[in-house]
């Protein structure tokens, strides 16, 4: 079983943004030492509590501060950007650190409506569908742009010895279907959508619609919220502070945000009727023995061999310890 890390560079309490980013770097270095397979950073905009607004920049620094662990995005919000520019960014990273760069793609906005408007204000940015953008991004990364494209002949330089691996992140069956249609590894983010029924349906749809070939097979990863502590009681107390806040708009769209305040600000910015729900996420919490059993059960039930661990403990030393205890279980 492989264990990986997704970190959002949270600034909790009195932490400064500099401290939050330093914590991410330290966690990446320790994750490498403890044997984690990947270290991914999130993309979030316009927030005073999440500092990872530019994953490409942060990835570059983490690559320079580590030596073996794979480093990537969890994920780049491709709807905002030109696939060509994203390919250039990740080709630079993959040239600097061959074989160590992952490119996770997310379909969400990564922030509130005003930040989305600011990111997409340039008229030159394509409004193609996410699937079209992912296809073009892959073509640029592998230098196999379709001859039918009006951009045929254009290259995303530099050309790395090993292009970044692409992963599709999502929380719905639609994202699973897109990952399957594009023959990409699929990562279901249970820490954002804690509905295990939706997770089961999404994983099932991905596997049933994936068209395998001799060299390409379905690959499912689960991004899970996990808290490990020395005792069951301590783990339960730490997990109790974690909440999932969702805003649902009148038109049926829903989004996960960091706090109730952010949810109401989201509603004010779109200026439509909305509802906010706050619920405890399905956080796996407990001692090392408990978590070992739970992860093994999930692995067997869903036939999953890699977990991306999200530990949203506000206190950084306790967050660090949770990751260390988890590594001790499987290493």
> Given a cut of 90, is residue 272 above it in pLDDT?
no
Torsion of CA 59, 168, 200, 171, to 10 degrees: 70
> Given a cut of 70, is residue 248 above it in pLDDT?
yes
**61-65, 137-141, 251-255: segment of lowest average pLDDT:** 251-255
> Given a cut of 80, is residue 187 above it in pLDDT?
yes
Q: Which tens digits make up the pLDDT trace of 7-22?
A: 999 998 778 999 999 9
Cβ distance 258 to 200 under 8 Å? no
> Given a cut of 90, is residue 5 above it in pLDDT?
yes
Q: Which tens digits make up the pLDDT trace of 94-124?
A: 999 999 999 999 998 898 889 988 998 765 5
| Tokens, residue 185 | 């590894």
The pLDDT value given to residue 126: 57
Cβ distance 76 to 110 under 8 Å? no
Residue 55 CB contacts under 8 Å (≥ 6 apart), including other chains: 41, 42, 43, 73, 74, 75, 76
Pick 184 or 277 by higher pLDDT: 184
For range 131-149, the mean pLDDT: 94
> Given a cut of 60, is residue 259 above it in pLDDT?
yes
> Given a cut of 90, is residue 304 above it in pLDDT?
yes
> Given a cut of 70, is residue 296 above it in pLDDT?
yes
For range 281-289, the mean pLDDT: 91
The pLDDT value given to residue 262: 85
Residue 293 CA: distances (Å) to CA of 7, 24, 283, 287, 290: 24, 28, 14, 10, 5
Per-domain residue ranges of the chain: 2-239+282-330, 243-279
Confidence of residue 281 (pLDDT cuts 50, 70, 90): low
For range 228-240, the mean pLDDT: 96
pTM: 0.93
Confidence of residue 130 (pLDDT cuts 50, 70, 90): very high
Q: Which tens digits make up the pLDDT trace of 68-92?
A: 999 999 999 999 999 999 999 999 9
> Given a cut of 90, is residue 161 above it in pLDDT?
yes
Confidence of residue 125 (pLDDT cuts 50, 70, 90): low
Q: Which tens digits make up the pLDDT trace of 27-46?
A: 999 999 999 999 999 999 98
Cβ distance 174 to 190 under 8 Å? no
Instruction: Share the mean pLDDT of the chain.
Output: 93
- Looking at domain 2-239+282-330, what is its CATH homologous superfamily? Luciferase-like domain (3.20.20.30)
The pLDDT value given to residue 123: 52
For range 237-242, the mean pLDDT: 91
Cβ distance 170 to 187 under 8 Å? yes
Length of the chain in terms of residues written: 331
The pLDDT value given to residue 89: 98
Residue 274 CA: distances (Å) to CA of 138, 225, 265, 271: 37, 26, 11, 9
Cβ distance 294 to 326 under 8 Å? no
The pLDDT value given to residue 127: 58
What is the spatial distance between Cα 315 and Cα 312, in angstroms, rounded to a whole number? Answer: 9
> Given a cut of 90, is residue 282 above it in pLDDT?
no
């Amino acid at each position: 079983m492989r264990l990986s890390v997704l970190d959002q560079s949270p600034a909790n309490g009195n932490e400064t943004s500099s401290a939050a980013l330093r914590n991410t770097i330290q966690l990446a270095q320790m994750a490498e030492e403890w044997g984690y397979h990947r270290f991914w950073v999130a993309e979030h905009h316009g927030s005073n509590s999440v500092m990872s607004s530019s994953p490409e920049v942060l990835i570059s620094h983490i690559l320079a501060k580590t030596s073996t662990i794979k480093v990537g995005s969890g994920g780049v919000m491709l709807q905002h950007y030109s696939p060509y520019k994203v390919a250039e960014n990740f080709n630079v990273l993959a040239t600097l650190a061959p074989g160590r760069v992952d490119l996770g793609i997310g379909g969400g906005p990564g922030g509130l409506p005003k930040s989305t408007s600011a990111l997409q204000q340039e008229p030159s940015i394509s409004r193609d569908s996410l699937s079209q953008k992912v296809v073009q991004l892959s073509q640029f990364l592998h230098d196999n742009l379709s001859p039918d494209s009006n951009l045929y002949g254009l290259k995303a330089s530099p050309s790395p010895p090993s292009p970044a691996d692409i992963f599709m992140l999502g929380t719905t069956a639609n994202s699973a279907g897109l990952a399957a249609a594009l023959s990409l590894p699929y990562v279901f983010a249970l820490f954002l959508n804690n509905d295990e029924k939706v997770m089961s349906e999404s994983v099932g749809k991905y596997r049933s619609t994936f068209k395998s070939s001799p060299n390409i097979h379905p690959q499912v990863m689960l991004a899970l919220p996990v808290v490990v502590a020395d005792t069951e009681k301590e783990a339960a107390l730490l997990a109790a502070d974690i909440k999932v806040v969702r805003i649902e708009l009148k038109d049926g769209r829903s989004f996960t945000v960091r706090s109730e305040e952010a949810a109401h600000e989201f509603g004010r910015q779109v200026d439509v009727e909305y509802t906010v729900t706050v619920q405890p996420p399905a956080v796996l919490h407990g001692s090392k023995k408990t978590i070992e059993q739970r992860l093994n059960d999930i692995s067997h039930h869903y036939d999953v061999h890699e977990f991306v661990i999200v530990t949203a403990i506000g206190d950084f030393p306790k967050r660090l310890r949770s990751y260390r205890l988890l590594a001790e279980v499987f290493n």
